[in-house]
Structure 1
Amino acid sequence: MAQKKILFIYYQNLKPGGVAKVLTNLTSELAKQGYNIEILFLMAPHQDFYSIDPTIKKHYIDSFSNKYSKFATHLKKKYISIPKVYNIHAYFYDLGSYQVLKEWIKENHHNYDTIVSCWYKLSVMLSLDKVISKKTIAWEHSSFRVGGIVYDKLLRKKYKNLKHIVCINKPSVKYYEHFNTTFFIPNIIDNIYEDVKFIESNEKENIISFVGRLDKTKNAIDVVKIFNDTKTSSDWKLQIIGDGPEKNNIAAYIKENKLDESVFLLGIKSPEEISELLKKSKIFAFTSLSEAFGLVLLEAMFCSNALIAYDCEFGPSDIINENNGFLIPVHDKPSFVSKLQLLTQNEEHLNALMKSSYEESHKWKKEKIIQQWKEIL
């Protein structure tokens, strides 16, 4: 096979994040299959949080060094109390990123057969150039509703100039196919989950897991409230993996409701540590208010967890069915409590759902997903 030279573009691989995670997974797999992969990060050189195949060449351009980006940082720090200042900050930072990216890509794009942009703002930037856009694939990782008037109403129409669009949930495919040829390709799972065998209930503990950034969108506080309202035996525990701005609020709720012995904030963990924690748990509870996919739901399935999640836009409904768990209307805590109570009180039902959830995970193995990428590359 003739080597295809592919450039992936994203902001950073500095901290936990869904895009960085699937970017490193996919590029490493493609590199093993003979593709010549390079990655451009819009940040100064930094240590990788998620491991990247050593054959992959990495480039760095510091978007924060641009004058507009510096002004954006100044605005955010000095006027943090002003409503909407973050939106103003974002537009100035995007302008700075565009200038830095445009300069680098103009000089280097001829080195690549295909360019894959991993964020909608970067895809818009690349779509503005008639030559570069024709070799660019937009890999959409966020809801198509994000971006506000400037991106959603004005700039996304430029997606018609791109080579293709790849979406990670089915509703997004319906939205983007009005602009260009669009493919549904789910996110690829970590290698550490691919060969995990089914874990029997007696090898696990009575643990409910949540994994995600502790912010208002991921809504981890609802998991704690639901757990508090669920009538479970005292040996059931809730482990929350992740960190973020809502951590103190969640910790305060745990203390006020005397949940210190049953709810544990474990902080940021490595992918390997997360897999080991999920192998110990029986139920994965997810109360996110918005998702583009929900890769962590797959990880929980591979680790023999039954799933309960809010039916938020967009990912969970593509993943959860009667074979692996329950979809709950968003904010419907009583229904969530009811299903959680059912599983924690009915051991036979829980064991059966854990088994079928694991079996369902095989539909999401990497081989099929890699093949879909190879076909469009």
Structure 2
Amino acid sequence: MKLCFILNHLYTPGGIERAVSNRLSELSKDHDVYVLTTENGHLPFYFGKHDNIKYIDINIKFKRKDDGGFKVNLYNIFFSIILFIKLQVQILRINPDVTINVIGVHTLYFVPFLLRQGKTILEHHASIYQYPPSRLRKEIMKKFKYHIFLTEEEAKLADFIENKIVIPNPIKGNHQALIPFSSRKNKILAAGRIVEIKGFDRLILAWSLIQKKHQNWILEIYGDGDKKVLDDLEALISELNLSDTVFIKPATSNIVELMLESKIYAMTSCYESFGMVLLEAMSAGMLVVSFDCPTGPRNIIDDQVGFLVEDNNIELFSEKISEIILNEDKYLDKSENAYKKSLDYSVNSVNERWNNLFLSIK
């Protein structure tokens, strides 16, 4: 089957980019896969390329807001027309059986109107709870034949569309490299884009409440993003006198390796559609703690595999971290259960669901 995946770019170290790379490497073994990016340019793909996938970049340069959002101006409107024309040219050349718009980006407004695009699929990665679509966006979404959601909860929120299918993002963990918990570093880990929605300020505040009790522990945050948010986080660390125990480091493609040597993964996002990084931490045998934010964590974590804390209850979050540190042996069964559950999200398991979908619409 000839598949064409459309997305903005693959040069950043985000969870979507990692999930796409994991998934397409396997799908390309059974299908003729094309990856059509709109704004990647000459930048290298962060997670590399695969020899049996055809990559095409349209190389449109839209003007963006500081947070990456789309600016509505004459320049971008003109290049939107150019984008539509270039998309149509490439789709006619590829002549796909299925066209998959990977994220709810600019191209979703165009894909349903392209000629010879085959069956159309829209993947929903951003939470509808966080970004409720406008009336126009809803009408465009309805024109896609199939919709992929990461969780049942997100699918239920989209009550205005039909043909909804739940397929989570896959993880690609090294299940043979688990390090005994007692041999790991006394380290709390967090990762994600340095933007307000990830709530790293909440994590720093939580750690400030207990760090004096656990001076042989450190907190490391990995990510790139908004410079203003990064500056604010660094200022908060300095203000709370945490410079010796809290470290913000650049994003890395080796995050799973870092997880394998760490004990606790902490997620303090304000919203999460899925939270793939939680699954990666579980696959590395970490103890995971997360705010019960809308909507992803509660679809992954239960009391058998981790700890869900009332959203924005920073004091309770800090108490849970401290409790784990003081009684880590008591919770090793959660680490084992988390590792076992992560196997359900392996690339092979998830791609089987994609292949079943493609067979059903052939």
Task: Provide TM-score, normalisation by structure 2.
Answer: 0.89
What is the deviation of 1:350? 3.2
Which whole-Å deviations, capped at 9, do the CAs of 1:36-95 have from their partners, x for residues lacking one? Answer: 11111112232111112122111111221xxxx4xx46xx6xxx8xxxx99771576764
8 A Cα contact 2:2 2:33, kept in partner: yes
Deviation at 1:216, TM superposition (A): 0.7
Structure 2 portions without partners, runs of 5+: none
Match of 1:256 among 225, 239, 260: 239
Equivalent residues of 1:5, 1:114 under 8 A apart: yes
Match of 1:167 among 149, 152, 155: 149
Sort the Cα spacing of 1:199 and 1:51 in 2 relative to 1 into closer, same or farther, 3 A.
same
Name the counterpart of 1:38: 34
TM-score, length-normalised on structure 1?
Answer: 0.86
What residue identity is the alignment partner of 2:125? Answer: H
2:194 corresponds to? 214
Instruction: Report which of the two has the higher share of helix.
Output: 1
Equivalent position to 2:108, from 124, 134, 143: 124
Contact 2:138 2:160 in 1 (8 A): no
Deviation of 1:185 after TM superposition, in Å, equals 0.4
Structure 2 residue 4 is the aligned partner of structure 1 residue 11: no
The separation in 1 between residues aligned to 2:236 and 2:265, in whole angstroms, is: 21
1:314-340 Cα deviation digits (max 9, x unpaired): 110111111221111221112112211
Structure 1 counterpart SS, 2:197:
coil
Distance 1:147 1:254 in 2: 30
- Match of residue 59, structure 2, among 57, 62, 65: 62
Question: SS of the counterpart of 1:156?
Answer: helix
Residue 317 of structure 2 is matched in structure 1 by 336
Q: Is the 8 A contact 2:7 2:105 kept in 1?
A: no
Aligned to 1:279: 260
The residue aligned with 1:236 is 217
1:154 corresponding residue in structure 2: 136
Q: 1:144 aligns with which of 120, 123, 128?
A: 128
User: What letter matches 2:57 in structure 1?
Assistant: Y
Q: CA deviation at 1:367?
A: 1.9
Between 85-94 and 159-168, report the one with greater CA deviation.
Answer: 85-94
Which structure's relative contact order is higher, taking Cα pairs within 8 Å and 6+ residues apart? 2
Counterpart of 1:103 in structure 2 is 85
Once the two structures are TM-superposed, the CA of residue 214 in structure 1 deviates from its matched residue by 1.5
Check conservation: 2:146, 2:164, Cα contact below 8 A: yes
Identity of aligned residues (%): 24
2:180 to 178, 200, 206: 200
Query: What CA distance in whole angstroms lies between the structure 1 residues aligned with 2:11 and 2:23?
Result: 17
CA distance in 1, matches of 2:159, 2:356: 18
